[in-house]
Amino acid sequence: MMGPDTVDACIELASALSPVLVDITGGAPELNPDLPRLIAGLRDAVPQLRIRTNLTALRSPAHGRLIDLFAEQKVRVLASLPGATAPVVDSQRGVGAFAESIEALRSLNGRGYGNGDGLLLDIAYNPPLGE
């Protein structure tokens, strides 16, 4: 888990280097309590921010505001799905993960993602062999 000092260092480094893109990734960056501060701090220094998500964390009540934050800060979302059916996704991520992922996608669409409003939503579809 990236701590507050590392968040500060990342913001400082991005401000100094002015990269074109910062890709926020990890096990589940949505679970980091400092994520809103990281996004806000990077927003002025970086033209494009992207966050990678497995979608299910976006459905948790503790992290429900993240979709609004992403939209307000114009963060590009890269959502990963390991399959196109409930049995495949649930077998890899736990029972109910497919339904939660679909609901998260609906929430993103409801906030303007993937609707031509400039909020970019990419889906990384990585099915297991044989699907």
The string of pLDDT tens digits covering residues 79-91 is 998 888 999 999 9
**Could you read off the pLDDT of 20-68 as tens digits, one per residue?**
999 999 878 988 999 999 999 999 899 999 999 989 888 887 777 899 9
The residue to which tokens 């497919």 are assigned = 98
Query: What mean pLDDT is predicted for residues 93-116?
Result: 93
Percentage of residues in the chain having pLDDT higher than 90? 66
The answer for residues whose C-beta is within 8 angstroms of residue 111's C-beta and 6 or more apart is: 67, 68, 70, 71, 119
